[in-house]
């Protein structure tokens, strides 16, 4: 990034600012605390990776930012959710519709839920372009073809006439990315876009994302449970656990010098292909706590204690320690101060 | 049932949990129970079909360690099926790589990782993201991205099944003649015209 671009970004403040986001769900059985005080910021042109195990609250965080969680049953609150000067939780739904898909776009975890099976690729792209007044009716075909070309779809003219189920998984994922890019968003949220793909096809999509990042220069939030895909894409990484941020750091620091014991444990639990074969993997015993049993107590626990991992059925209502701000990076947990020097 | 209790203990579960319903167990515990079930009749040979692919990494590591320990203690032979080459390399002595229903390469694990011969094995190895930013940057600078998607197994390509995705195929042979698995070195078999002697 040229020095002046960096300067402008810094002066203008972050593109997205999230402070103390909470999301709960009410159900007959009780309430689920899915996201418990998450804070982060994304600046222009930056890629933020969000990593966490299943159920840690990654998708719910993204859906809350897009205002796509119906309330009720969801309950969304935050001190601040500001995007490009707009208070996203305060603006009305009409204003939100102008932002969603246009300035703030998302690629969802399940490709088939966001593509209409009875509409051709061309029509789906055209509807997006027309709804956001990107171009006139006579230009949509050319635009749509250019978008498919940009995401590396061969023979884009032919693919425009295809229906989603006529495309391979990799092609479908590219179409979704093309749709998300159609209005030139300032921020793209990609929720596990490669998890369902073969490793060789995943590699193609990662390559595409790196190229788009370079060429378009938009900001990206890349959500994944895979520390591998994040390593090559993110500038900064957030580690989530039980709806909280455990650690946040620039990508190199996070992998080279992880501060939080949970981050370290995660890194040591993955078998690797590079380097020598490790003798034994580091297993984290137990499993993440059930969000229905988490209390939302915000008091900081004191003393040294292990990360709460629950055996199912065994009550575990202690929240993991929340994140404290530690410039220039953050690692949650007071019980581990020893590690935070 | 004392025998069951012993098997439960063997896979690291409290025998008191035996009366619980499946939905009351975590993914990792359910996988331990599956393993206990497979081990109860004291087999010599166990087939594990993607036993860790739906698990989070922290729990995946528990199951891999358990399988390793059981293999050592009971002298089991395992056939471990997975799409994750890093997991297979960690756990297995020998690795067979399949593409569209055919074995394309079979050899000892470190040999496969260090000296792969089949272009598909090479592609698989170089397509896996590395959880280290610097090494990942090196990988993406070096590797060739494999073109296209895997064809449908219902109508595999004629000749070598991999030829539609390999750009440096050797002219006519690849698209017409299916290569057989041949030994290229002791204990190392490859099905590819490039290595047909
Ligand atoms: N609509 C809902 N109603 C009730 N609970 C929900 C709802 N959506 C999500 N949850 C719960 O919120 C928690 C966080 O879910 P979320 O989908 O954000 O996880 P995730 O980190 O995206 O996991 P994965 O890696 O499996 O996609 C989970 O415990 C989930 O069961
Ligand atoms: Mg998710």
Provide the residue-wise pLDDT of chain A in tens; the chain has 341 residues: 444 444 444 446 799 999 999 999 887 767 788 898 899 999 988 999 999 888 888 999 999 999 999 888 899 999 999 999 899 999 999 999 889 988 999 998 776 677 888 899 999 889 888 888 888 888 888 889 888 888 888 888 888 988 988 888 778 888 888 888 888 899 999 998 887 777 888 888 888 888 888 888 899 999 998 899 999 999 999 999 888 888 899 999 999 998 888 888 889 888 888 877 777 887 776 656 655 555 444 333 333 334 445 433 333 334 444 443 333 345 544 333 333 33
Q: Which residue in A198, A255, A266 is closest to B132 by CB distance?
A: A255
The answer to whether A199 contacts B124, with C-beta atoms less than 8 Å apart, is: yes
How distant is the Cα of A317 from the closest Cα of chain B, in angstroms? 17
Closest chain A residue to B126, measured at CA: A200
DSSP element (H, E) containing A147: helix A140-150
Residues of B in contact with A284 (CB under 8 A): 58-59, 61-62
In this structure, the answer to whether residues B55 and B88 fall within a common structural domain is yes
Contact A147, A182 (CB under 8 A): yes
Give CB contacts under 8 A, 24+ apart, made by B136-142.
B136/A228, B136/A231, B136/A232, B137/A232, B139/A232, B139/A274, B140/A206, B140/A207, B140/A210, B140/A232
In this structure, the answer to whether residues B129 and B179 fall within a common structural domain is yes
In this structure, the answer to whether residues B19 and B83 fall within a common structural domain is yes
Closest to A273 in 3D by CA, of B179, B192, B114, B1: B114
In this structure, the answer to whether residues B125 and B80 fall within a common structural domain is no
The arithmetic mean of pLDDT across residues B163-172, rounded, is 70
> What's the confidence (pLDDT) of residue A232?
92
Q: Is B127 on the interface with A (CB under 8 A)?
A: yes
Ligand nearest to the CA of A106: 2
Band of pLDDT at residue B149, cut at 50, 70 and 90 = confident
Cα–Cα separations (whole angstroms), residue B185 to B110, B111, B117, B178? 14, 11, 11, 21
Closest to A237 in 3D by CA, of A201, A273, A268, A263: A263
Closest chain A residue to B93, measured at CA: A277
Would residue B88 count as lying in a domain? yes
Domain boundary among B58, B92, B126: B92
Instruction: Sort residue B55 into left (φ over 0), alpha (ψ -120 to 50) or beta.
Output: beta
Domain boundary among B60, B92, B124: B92
Residue bearing the CA closest to ligand 1, atom 19: A55
Give the C-alpha separation, A339 to A185, whole Å.
39
In this structure, the answer to whether residues B120 and B82 fall within a common structural domain is no
Q: Which residue in B60, B61, B131 is closest to A227 by CB distance?
A: B131
What is the total count of domains within chain B? Answer: 2
Would residue B100 count as lying in a domain? no
- Taking the centre of ligand 1 as the mean of its atom positions, its distance from the CA of residue A298, in whole angstroms, is 21
Would residue B20 count as lying in a domain? yes
- Taking the centre of ligand 1 as the mean of its atom positions, its distance from the CA of residue A288, in whole angstroms, is 13
Please give the DSSP secondary-structure letter assigned to residue A247: E
Q: Which two tokens stand for residue B70?
A: 């059981």
Q: Which two tokens stand for residue B12?
A: 């690291």
The answer to whether A232 contacts B133, with C-beta atoms less than 8 Å apart, is: yes
Task: Indicate which CATH number applies to the domain containing B31.
Answer: 3.40.50.300
Closest chain A residue to B55, measured at CA: A54
* Residue A276: count of CB within 10 angstroms of its CB: 8
In this structure, the answer to whether residues B20 and B80 fall within a common structural domain is yes
Residues of A in contact with B56 (CB under 8 A): 53-54, 225, 288
> What's the confidence (pLDDT) of residue A83?
95
Name the least confident of A166-175, B4-13, B67-76. Answer: B4-13
Q: Which of A101-105, B20-24, B35-39, B144-148 has the highest mean pLDDT?
A: A101-105
Q: Which two tokens stand for residue A293?
A: 């049993």
Contact A15, A217 (CB under 8 A): no
Give the C-alpha separation, A277 to A273, whole Å.
8
Q: Is B151 on the interface with A (CB under 8 A)?
A: no
Give the C-alpha separation, A114 to A117, whole Å.
9
In this structure, the answer to whether residues B79 and B117 fall within a common structural domain is no
DSSP for B95-134, written as a single string = EEEEETTEEEEEEEHHHHHHS--SHHHHHHHHHSPPSSHH
* Residue A318: count of CB within 10 angstroms of its CB: 15
In this structure, the answer to whether residues B121 and B195 fall within a common structural domain is yes
The residue segments making up the domain with residue B55 are 1-92
Name the least confident of A78-92, A327-341, B44-58, B68-82. Answer: A327-341
Cα–Cα separations (whole angstroms), residue B150 to A198, B98, B99, B118? 9, 12, 9, 16
* Residue B85: count of CB within 10 angstroms of its CB: 21
The arithmetic mean of pLDDT across residues B172-189, rounded, is 88
Closest chain B residue to A208, measured at CA: B145
Q: Which two tokens stand for residue B121?
A: 């094995």
Q: Give backbone dihedrals phi and psi of A76, rounded to 5 degrees, phi first.
A: -115, 130
> What's the confidence (pLDDT) of residue A189?
95
The answer to whether B61 contacts A273, with C-beta atoms less than 8 Å apart, is: no
Closest to B146 in 3D by CA, of B127, B130, B161: B127
In this structure, the answer to whether residues B44 and B86 fall within a common structural domain is yes
Tell me the per-residue pLDDT of A6-55, one tens digit each, with 9 for 90 and over: 444 444 679 999 999 999 988 776 778 889 889 999 998 899 999 988 88
Contacts of B108 (CB under 8 A, 6+ apart): B93, B94, B95, B187, B188
DSSP element (H, E) containing B11: none
> What's the confidence (pLDDT) of residue A318?
42
Q: Is A317 on the interface with B (CB under 8 A)?
A: no
Closest to B31 in 3D by CA, of B43, B15, B13: B13
Band of pLDDT at residue B170, cut at 50, 70 and 90 = low
Q: Give backbone dihedrals phi and psi of A324, rounded to 5 degrees, phi first.
A: -105, 150
Instruction: Answer with the residue of higher pLDDT: A54 or B10.
Output: A54
Would residue B115 count as lying in a domain? yes
> What's the confidence (pLDDT) of residue A62?
95
How distant is the Cα of A294 from the closest Cα of chain B, in angstroms? 17
Q: Which of A330-334, B23-27, B131-135 has the highest mean pLDDT?
A: B131-135
Answer whether A320 contacts ligand 1 (Cβ < 6 A). Answer: no
Closest to A254 in 3D by CA, of A124, A262, A14: A262
Contacts of B125 (CB under 8 A, 6+ apart): A273, B85, B113, B116
Q: To test ligand 1's pocket by mutation, which of A25, A26, A31, A34 has the most ligand atoms within 8 angstroms of CB?
A: A34
């Amino acid at each position: 990034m040229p020095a002046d671009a960096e300067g402008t970004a810094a002066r203008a403040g972050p593109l997205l600012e999230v402070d103390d986001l909470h999301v709960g769900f009410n159900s007959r059985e009780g309430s689920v605390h899915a996201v418990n005080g998450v804070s982060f910021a994304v600046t222009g042109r930056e890629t933020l990776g969000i990593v966490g195990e299943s159920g840690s609250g990654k998708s719910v965080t993204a859906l809350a930012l897009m205002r796509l969680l119906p309330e009720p049953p969801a309950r969304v609150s935050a001190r601040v959710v500001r995007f490009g000067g707009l208070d996203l939780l305060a603006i009305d739904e009409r204003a939100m519709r102008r932002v969603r898909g246009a300035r703030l776009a998302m690629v969802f975890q399940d490709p088939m839920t966001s593509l209409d099976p009875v509409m051709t690729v061309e029509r789906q792209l055209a509807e997006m372009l027309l709804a956001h007044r990107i171009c006139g009716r006579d230009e949509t075909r050319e635009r749509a073809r250019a978008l498919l070309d940009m995401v590396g779809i061969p023979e884009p003219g032919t693919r425009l006439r295809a229906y989603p189920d006529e495309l391979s998984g990799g092609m479908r994922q590219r179409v979704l990315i093309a749709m998300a890019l159609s209005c030139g968003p300032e921020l793209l949220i990609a929720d596990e876009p490669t998890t369902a793909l073969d490793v060789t096809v995943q590699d193609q999509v990662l390559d595409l994302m790196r190229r788009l990042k370079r060429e378009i220069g938009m900001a990206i939030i890349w959500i994944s449970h895979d520390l591998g895909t994040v390593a090559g894409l993110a500038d900064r990484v957030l580690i989530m656990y039980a709806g909280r941020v455990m650690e946040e750091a620039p990508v190199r620091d996070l992998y080279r010098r992880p501060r939080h014991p949970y981050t370290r444990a995660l890194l040591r639990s993955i078998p690797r292909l590079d380097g020598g074969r490790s003798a034994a993997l580091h297993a984290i015993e137990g499993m993440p706590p059930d969000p229905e049993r988490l209390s939302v107590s915000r008091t900081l626990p004191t003393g040294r204690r292990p990360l709460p991992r629950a055996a199912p059925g065994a009550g575990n209502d202690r929240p993991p320690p929340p994140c404290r701000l530690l410039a220039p990076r953050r690692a949650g947990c007071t019980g581990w101060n020893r590690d935070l020097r | 049932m004392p025998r069951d209790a012993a098997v439960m203990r063997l896979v690291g579960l409290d025998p008191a949990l035996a009366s619980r319903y499946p939905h009351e167990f975590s993914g990792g515990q359910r996988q331990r129970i599956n393993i206990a079930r497979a081990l109860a009749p004291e087999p010599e040979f166990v087939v594990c079909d993607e036993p860790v692919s739906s698990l989070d990494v922290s729990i995946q590591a528990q199951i891999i360690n358990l399988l390793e320990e059981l293999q050592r203690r009971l002298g089991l032979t395992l056939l471990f099926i997975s799409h994750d080459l890093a997991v297979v390399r960690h756990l297995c002595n020998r690795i067979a790589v399949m593409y569209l229903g055919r074995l394309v390469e079979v050899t000892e694990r470190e040999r496969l990782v260090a000296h792969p011969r089949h272009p598909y094995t090479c592609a698989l190895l170089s397509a896996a993201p590395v959880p280290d930013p610097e090494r990942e940057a090196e990988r993406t600078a070096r590797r060739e991205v494999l073109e296209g998607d895997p064809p449908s197994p219902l109508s595999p390509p004629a000749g070598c099944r991999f030829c539609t995705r390999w750009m440096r195929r050797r002219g006519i042979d690849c698209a017409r003649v299916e290569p057989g698995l041949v030994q290229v070195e002791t204990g190392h078999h490859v099905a590819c015209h490039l290595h047909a002697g």
